[in-house]
Structure 1
Amino acid sequence: MADATDVTTAAELRAPNDGPVRTREEFEDRQYILTALEEHKRRGVELAVWTRWIMLPIVAVFLIAVHPVWSQLYYVAMLGLLCLNGWLMRRVARVERSRAELSLILFDLLLMTFGMVVPNPFDPQPIPVPMLYHYGNFVYFFMILSAGTLAYSWRTVIAIGVWTAVIWLGASYGVARFAPADADMSAALAAIVGPDSHMWELMDPFHVNFQLRIQEAMVFLLVAGTLALSAKRFNELLLTAAGSERERANLSRYFSPNVVEQLSQNDEPLKQVRGAKVAVMFVDIMGFTPLTQDQDPHEVIDLLRGFHGRMEAEVFRHNGTLDKYLGDGLMATFGTPQPGEQDATHALACALSMQAALEGWNRDRRRKGLPTLRVGIGLHYGDVVLGDIGANRLEYAVVGAAVNVASRLEKLTRTLEGDIVLSDGLRGQLLQEGADNDLLQGFGCHEGQIIRGLSEPMTVWAR
């Protein structure tokens, strides 16, 4: 069904004259909100149409029940046309401004007015046309208005109110001005109740009672205005929710789902700079340059996407945080933004899962005749500093000696000819966490390793 609030918002998002999109993030935010509006419109239209398809058959059954004559099928057929019109609205509904939708709304109102003020041609006992106003059928317009708030914008809800008032008063004036009167019938009734009494105003079969029609239109406009304010507020909440979901989507690029949930429930938890002990992981493809020097650039990008996607999935699966991509590698942390009780355990379990995922991918690559990959992983547990860095564009950063050590340990995989090298500090933390001994199987001790940047040699474990 036609939607003006969403329509205007979507138009503003796409409008070329509302200022340039200066950043990729701004463009993505607009696209994200536009997608949210389209989804809201789709659901609103579905709900509004189903509401119509439920309400109108109920009205049809009610009409037949209270006045079971064949001529009632005329009004049942009109209700059927309104149901069909709802189906058409469902077909043409879209977020952009749609003349087709607005036309179908106008058809709704005209059809209902026609059914209320034009006599039933199949009625065997026709009555004066103004008498049709005595049935109080105007209340049925509120069904269209209430269903409209499910899918329309606040501007369109107001339009429904204004159009209904204009059409209803226009039809009332036309009936009062042009409907034929029966002087003998009026004289007979006036003789009974008195031509100057209030009863005569209510019972006169040829009196439209224009004051009452104005009252109906006024009340309808007031209700439409109130519902329009509700619709406007709802759409503001929708945009706010879309922005929140966008922020959650951005967070999900860096943090595991449980961390995103934690961050979304706290107010700005990342801005406080603090120290913490975390597990740091560096991952890198060994021999990447000679492996790809003769490949097409597009093939290299596809290779990196496949690699990063698999490694990222394992980081998130083990409650880690993806800190950054580093060309053919990545850096991840465990224990950020909030420390856990099993951070070192999760880090080593993630490294082992990464190697297992790589083995599966290599099997597929061998079947396709592609070269296999080997990955080096360095792990360290130690002190770091956490917090946002930057001025206008912020980045959540993890810095400190532990980061440098983990990076050096990843490079040490070439020297020690292992796939995973972990520091004695991380191994000690694993033991404190009560890690399963299976995690440490196959790791050999290498004492006295010189790590650039450290004044003392350190003991490492490699596999």
Structure 2
Amino acid sequence: MNPRARWTGDANIAQAIVRAERNGIAFSFQVRALVLLIVAVWLALTVPMPRVLYWHGMILLFLLSGFLPYRMRHRAGWRWWLAGFTLIDAALLTTILILPNPFFDTGWPIQTQLRFHNQLYLFVFLACALLSYSPGMVLWTGLCIAATWSVGTWLIAGLPDSLAGLPQGLGGDAQGSLQTFFEPHFVDLNRWANEVVMLLIVALVGAVAVWRARRLLHRQIDSERARGHLSRYFSPDVADRLAREGSRLDASEQRQVGVLFVDIVGFTGLSEGQSAERVVALLRSFRTRMARCVFAHGGTLDKYVGDEVMATFGSLDAGRRDAANAIACGLAMLEEIERWSAKRRQRGAPAIAVGIGIHYGSCVVGNVGSASQIEFTCIGDTVNCAQRLERLTRELGTPIIVSEAVIEKARDELAGEADALAGFTTAGRHALRGRLGDMAIWRLGEPTPLIAPPPAAQTNPSSTPLASEGAA
């Protein structure tokens, strides 16, 4: 993909990520509100009055600290607001977990608050940060709660009556270690270090998980964008492969390719007197039917030029039956046109006739588009000859003209199935306009008139619904 298109695509992805982050803030607040409601109900059932009032007050304060960034998520500098309130949240949660309830005096020293596994609530708070869809915010949340929990722990450890450190004689005097450990004023700094390390590890893993999710989203969007563009020209399996190997589009190479041109005979007469909507509907139906035949035979839809369709076989990857597939595609196109014409005749519309030219030879294959658009195509004398053969069908009165090169190549590919070419007969050598020398050609069946009926033979255009042009 060219740099400008890639930049535009990345800008669109970045905007989508920002929307996802803002939606994550909203969703995080909704989850927080639900969790706090559940906690409030649980406390009301398990904690007596007036002791529960303190916890309900803290819950309301915690709900408010989440509501403010929720309201400011669409304002300028919203990430700074979110970072600031994340620090406030972490400090508030640490305060709630460490300070004792002022409405209920247990008689236990404040140091015992660090032994009730309250730090587990910090991991729940960190898990909610994953909803932000921002790796930086997950890391910031981990740093904030690790810092505030450390500050709270060290403030308690610094109290005059605190016995901070590690149990003495841990490697020798087991009795002394246990006495130190069960001392109510003891603050285990080893436990604090483990808690902080685990918080930071979980924050790092969570940030990496969010980063990988975002990277996967980028790749999926890039792949779908490329596939959406390529699927207009290639069969679905080829489009999938090209979307995965997009760099191949920029390389040019010489390849042996089967080239097919098909267009509507007498299109000017068919469209004369018709409304623009009906002409467009006719073209769309024709192109859709022809593209279906191309893809069904492993071909590549190269381009549309008015009512003319160019398809190639073997332009992406050389196959074992490229020439035979090109011929089979041409025959399938005739069958499809006959079915379509039968439906048109039933409603009084004129039949459709087409001319098809097929050649096989060397082409230059690659992306010849501009900096803002991919155009994977074939160029060279083989393409020009196929187009001239398609124009020659009018003169010889046959729906398909193929070069002898296609016939010979198809015979080699088909081996024992060469009877598939039985409908073709040699038509000698003919000169092609704009090309020196002549070419040996083959045609399908006996000469038949290909010119569509004049406009006077058509029914009133207004009597046929527009949608009927696209009937299957």
Q: TM class, shorter-chain normalised?
A: 0.5 to 0.7
1:347–1:137 Cα change, 3 Å = same
* Aligned partner (choices 260, 268, 280) of residue 281 of structure 1: 260
Report Cα offsets for 1:405-431 as digits up to 9, x if no partner: 110121122233333222232122222
Match of 2:168 in 1: none
Match of 2:438 in 1: 456
Q: Distance in 1 between matches of 2:158 and 2:348?
A: 88
Report Cα offsets for 1:81-132 as digits up to 9, x if no partner: 9xxx9xx99xx9xx98989999998999689758744779999989666423
Are 2:387 and 1:407 aligned?
A: yes
1:167–1:291 Cα change, 3 Å = farther
Are 2:407 and 1:427 aligned?
A: yes
Moved more, 336-345 or 361-370: 361-370
1:434 alignment partner, SS class: helix
Q: Distance in 1 between matches of 2:282 and 2:108?
A: 81
Are 2:138 and 1:157 aligned?
A: yes
1:376–1:133 Cα change, 3 Å = same
Q: How does 1:27-66 map to 2 (within 5 A)?
A: 27=8, 30-31=11-12
Report Cα offsets for 1:233-277 as digits up to 9, x if no partner: 664465356435544544444333444455567695455544332
Q: Distance in 2 between matches of 1:392 and 1:289?
A: 34
Q: Is the 8 A contact 2:424 2:442 kept in 1?
A: no
Q: Is the 8 A contact 1:320 1:333 kept in 2?
A: yes
Match of 2:173 in 1: none
Displacement of 1:292 in angstroms is 2.7
1:433 alignment partner, SS class: helix
Are 2:121 and 1:131 aligned?
A: no
Q: Is the 8 A contact 1:278 1:336 kept in 2?
A: yes
Displacement of 1:23 in angstroms is 6.4
1:102–1:25 Cα change, 3 Å = closer
Q: How does 1:55-454 map to 2 (within 5 A)?
A: 71=46, 116-117=97-98, 130-145=111-126, 148-149=129-130, 152-165=133-146, 168=149, 202-203=181-182, 205=184, 216-217=195-196, 220-221=199-200, 223-225=202-204, 227-228=206-207, 231-232=210-211, 235-236=214-215, 238-240=217-219, 242-260=221-239, 263=242, 268-269=247-248, 273-362=252-341, 372-389=351-368, 392=371, 395-434=375-414, 436=417, 439-440=420-421, 442-452=423-433, 453-454=435-436
Q: Distance in 1 between matches of 2:315 and 2:270?
A: 34
1:316–1:39 Cα change, 3 Å = farther
Q: Is the 8 A contact 1:449 1:460 kept in 2?
A: no
Q: Scaled by the length of structure 2, what TM-score is found?
A: 0.62
Q: Structure 2, unaligned stretches of length 5 or more? A: 40-44, 164-175, 446-472
Q: Distance in 2 between matches of 1:102 and 1:283?
A: 62
Q: Distance in 1 between matches of 2:270 and 2:10?
A: 38
Q: Distance in 2 between matches of 1:374 and 1:126?
A: 99
Report Cα offsets for 1:188-227 as digits up to 9, x if no partner: xxxxxxxxx9878754546777996587457634653565
1:175–1:308 Cα change, 3 Å = farther
Q: Is the 8 A contact 1:424 1:461 kept in 2?
A: no
Report Cα offsets for 1:334-370 as digits up to 9, x if no partner: 0112211100121122223333444454566567776
Q: Highest CA radius of gyration, 1 or 2? A: 2
Identity percentage of aligned residues: 33
Q: Is the 8 A contact 1:71 1:123 kept in 2?
A: no
1:459 alignment partner, SS class: strand
What is the letter of the counterpart of residue 328 of structure 1? D
1:32–1:330 Cα change, 3 Å = farther
What is the letter of the counterpart of residue 407 of structure 1? Q
Displacement of 1:441 in angstroms is 5.2
Displacement of 1:154 in angstroms is 1.2
Q: How many aligned positions are there? A: 397
Q: Is the 8 A contact 2:252 2:364 kept in 1?
A: yes
Q: Distance in 2 between matches of 1:360 and 1:104?
A: 68
1:339–1:154 Cα change, 3 Å = same
Displacement of 1:157 in angstroms is 0.4
1:300–1:149 Cα change, 3 Å = same
Q: Is the 8 A contact 1:201 1:209 kept in 2?
A: no
Q: Scaled by the length of structure 1, what TM-score is found?
A: 0.63
Q: Distance in 1 between matches of 2:47 and 2:319?
A: 71
Q: Distance in 2 between matches of 1:24 and 1:297?
A: 32
1:119–1:283 Cα change, 3 Å = farther
1:160–1:380 Cα change, 3 Å = same
Q: Is the 8 A contact 1:29 1:246 kept in 2?
A: no
Q: Distance in 1 between matches of 2:147 and 2:235?
A: 57
Q: Is the 8 A contact 1:421 1:462 kept in 2?
A: yes
1:378–1:138 Cα change, 3 Å = same
Report Cα offsets for 1:64-96 as digits up to 9, x if no partner: xxxxxx94999xx99xx9xxx9xx99xx9xx98
Q: Structure 1, unaligned stretches of length 5 or more? A: 1-20, 61-69, 187-196
